[in-house]
Amino acid sequence: MTVQTEAPDAGQRRIPPGPPPRRIVGNLPEFASDLLGFFTSCARTYGDVARVQLGSRTGYLLTNPADIEQVLVGQHRNFIKHSFFWRHVRAVFGDGLLTSEGDAWLAQRRMIQPAFHKDRIAGYGAVMVEFADRMTDDWQDGAARSIHRDMMGLTLEIVAKVLFDSDVSEDVAEVERSFEAALVQVASRFRSPIRLPDWVPTPGNLRYAAAVRRLDALVYRIIREHGSRPAGPDLLSMLLAVRGDGGERMPERLVRDQAVTLLLAGHETTALTLSWTWALLSTHPHVEERLARELRDVLGGRAPTVADLPRLRYTEHVVTESMRLYPPAYAIGREAVADCEIGGFHTPAGTTLFMSPWVMHRDARWFDEPDAFRPERWEAGLAERLARFVYMPFGGGPRLCIGNRFAMMEATLILAAIARRFRLRLEPDRMPAPYPTITLRPQGGVRMRVTRTLD
Ligand code: HEM
C-alpha cells in the first residue's frame, strides 16, 4: 500500500493521510470485503487519524484516545449520530433513545435513566439467574446446541421481563428472524456505493420492510396487552403513564420506538458477549478451569446472586476480556455538524468520524500480546491505568450505553449460572469468524456440545 503523506488542501488546511481512493467507490471495496481488517490496516499504516473514502462519504478513523474523547465528550455538541450506519437503521429504531438527537434525546434519557439506576438493576439479578437456570434445566447432557441462539433467546426474555414485565417466550424465534433479516439488509446497505431510498421496491428493501412490520406487530401487541393491565413498577408502565404539559400521553409510535430500542439494544449485544465468551472458554481450557475454580470456591454449588458479584472477580474479568477481543459494538460513528478540527486536522461538516473498539482493543500500544485471551491481565488494576477511551466497549460521554451496568451484571451472572453446571465445547473446535453487521456477530452461529458437570 502506498502511504499518502499529509497534504495541505487548497486552503492550506491539513487533511489526514489515508489509503488512496479509487474513482467513485473510493475505499469501499476494501471496506466491504473485510471491514475489520481494513480499519486495522488503516490505523496501523496511517496513524492516529486516517482518512477513508467510502463512496461519496469521507470518514476519519480515530485511534488516539484523546481525539476520541474530543468527539464523544469535549466537542460532542458538534456531532450527531445520523452518520453512516445509523441512518440505515432508523426504520427499526425510529426516534428511540439510541437514534434520537439533541433535546428530544436528552428528555428521553432523563425519563428512562431511573430504570437503570444501580439499585434498580440489582433487583433484576434474580430474574437473570432464574431464567438462565430454567433454560439450562432443559439442556440434554451431551447434546449439541446452537449456543448463540440460546443466548439471544435468554437475554431477550430477560429484558422483556425486567423492563416491560412481559413474557416473550413464544416470540423469540420471530424476533430473531425479523431482526436478523433487518441486520443483513443494513449490513449490505452500508457496504454498497449506491443508496436507494427505502421506498424503492428492491427485493432487499421489501425484505427489510417486512421484517420491520413483523417487529412492529409484536411490539404493539406487547404495548396493548400491557396497557390493559394495572400499571406496575416497570419501565413500560412508566412510559405509558407519562403525560405532557397539556396532559397528553406519549404518542404510541414513540412508545413503540423506545420499546423496540430497549428490546433489541438490550439483548443482542449481551447475547453476543456471552456467545463469544463461551467460544473463547472452549478454546482456552486453562481459563475455563480457573473460572470453574472460582465458581466452586465462591458459590459452593449453589446458584449465584447479585450479592456474590464482588467476589466473582475472575468471572467478571473473563467478560471484560471477551469484550476486549470481540466488542459487540465494534465501531461507533458520528457526523460533524459544522467544520471543526480533530487531532490537528481540518474536519469539514459532514465528515464521518469512526471510532473502533475492535481496533483500539487490539492495539499493542496498550495491551501486551493484544490478540491473546488473558482475563488475568485485568487483575492488577489495568482498567485504572489505561487512558480513557482505550477500552470502550460501551462507548462514552453523554451517549454512553445506558445499559452498561445492566449488561455487565447480566453477562457475569449468566456466565456464572451456566458455567457452574455445564462445560461447553465448540463443534468444530475453532473460533467462529467475526462478521460485522451493526454488531459483531459470529459467522454461522456458535455450535457447541454441552456437558453437565453438576446436577
Ligand atoms: C455487552 C452489552 C452491550 C454493549 C457492548 C453495548 C454497547 C453500546 C454502545 C457502544 C453504545 C453507544 C453507541 C454510540 O455512542 O454510538 C450503546 C448505547 C446504548 N445502549 Fe448499549 N450495549 C450493551 C448492552 C445494553 C443493554 C443491556 C441495554 C438496555 C437494556 C442497552 C441499551 C442501550 C441504549 C438505549 C443506548 C443508547 C443510549 C443513548 O444514546 O443515550 N445496551 N450501547
Residues 6+ apart with CB under 8 A from 384: none
In the prediction, which pLDDT does 10 show? 44
In the prediction, which pLDDT does 374 show? 98
Alpha helix segments (H runs only) across 234-381: 235-241, 252-265, 268-283, 285-299, 313-325, 357-361
Cα of 80 from ligand 1 centre, angstroms: 16
State if residue 98 touches ligand 1 by the CB under 6 angstroms criterion. Answer: yes
Question: Of all atoms in ligand 1, which is nearest to the CA of residue 393?
Answer: 5
In this structure, which residue's CA is closest to atom 27 in ligand 1? Answer: 266
pTM of the predicted model as reported, rounded to 2 decimal places: 0.94
Which of the four pLDDT bands, split at 50, 70 and 90, describes residue 53?
A: very high
User: What's the gap between Cα 339 and its chain centre?
Assistant: 29
Question: Of all atoms in ligand 1, which is nearest to the CA of residue 159?
Answer: 30
Work out the average pLDDT over 79-102.
83
Question: Of all atoms in ligand 1, which is nearest to the CA of residue 392?
Answer: 10
Place of cell 444501580: 118
Residue 413: count of CB within 10 angstroms of its CB: 26
CA–CA gap between residue 412 and residue 289 (Å, rounded): 16
Residues 6+ apart with CB under 8 A from 268: 152, 155, 179, 328, 439
Work out the average pLDDT over 315-337.
97
DSSP secondary structure of 89-138? GHHHHTTSTTT--HHHHHHHHHHHGGGG-HHHHHTTHHHHHHHHHHHHHT
CA–CA gap between residue 89 and residue 355 (Å, rounded): 19
As a residue count, the chain comes to: 455
Mean pLDDT in the chain? 92
- Reading the block at residue 243, the C-alpha cell is 403525560
State if residue 407 touches ligand 1 by the CB under 6 angstroms criterion. Answer: yes
C-beta separation of 319 from 415 below 8 A: yes
Cα of 329 from ligand 1 centre, angstroms: 8
Work out the average pLDDT over 17-40.
95
**In this structure, what are the phi and psi dihedrals at residue 444, rounded to the nearest 5 degrees?**
80, 5
Work out the average pLDDT over 360-389.
96
State if residue 322 touches ligand 1 by the CB under 6 angstroms criterion. Answer: no
C-beta separation of 403 from 124 below 8 A: no
In the prediction, which pLDDT does 208 show? 85
Cα of 401 from ligand 1 centre, angstroms: 4
Cα of 97 from ligand 1 centre, angstroms: 10
Per-residue pLDDT tens over the stretch 244-287: 778 888 888 999 999 999 999 999 999 999 999 999 999 999 99
Place of cell 496498550: 366
In the prediction, which pLDDT does 9 show? 52
Residues 6+ apart with CB under 8 A from 58: 51, 52, 348, 350, 351, 352
Residue with the larger pLDDT of the pair 306 and 1: 306
Q: Which of 401, 410, 414 to mutate to test the pocket of ligand 1 (most atoms within 8 A of CB)?
A: 401
Share of the chain above pLDDT 90, in %: 73
Per-residue pLDDT tens over the stretch 146-189: 999 999 999 999 999 999 999 998 988 888 888 888 887 777 77
Per-residue pLDDT tens over the stretch 179-236: 888 887 777 777 776 677 777 888 888 888 888 998 999 999 999 988 888 888 889 9
Cα of 402 from ligand 1 centre, angstroms: 6
In the prediction, which pLDDT does 2 show? 42
Lowest mean pLDDT among 82-96, 152-166, 261-275, 419-433: 82-96
Cα of 328 from ligand 1 centre, angstroms: 10
The residues pairing with 80 across neighbouring beta strands, listed in sequence order, are: 335
398-405 long-range contacts (CB < 8 A, ≥24 apart) are 398/73, 398/76, 398/109, 399/72, 399/76, 399/81, 399/105, 401/329, 402/97, 402/109, 402/112, 402/113, 402/116, 403/116, 403/265, 403/266, 403/270, 405/116, 405/118, 405/121
Question: Of all atoms in ligand 1, which is nearest to the CA of residue 108?
Answer: 41
In the prediction, which pLDDT does 83 show? 63
Which of the four pLDDT bands, split at 50, 70 and 90, describes residue 454?
A: confident
Work out the average pLDDT over 410-433.
97
Question: Of all atoms in ligand 1, which is nearest to the CA of residue 396?
Answer: 15
C-beta separation of 125 from 409 below 8 A: yes
Q: What is the DSSP code (8-state) at residue 26?
A: B
State if residue 438 touches ligand 1 by the CB under 6 angstroms criterion. Answer: no
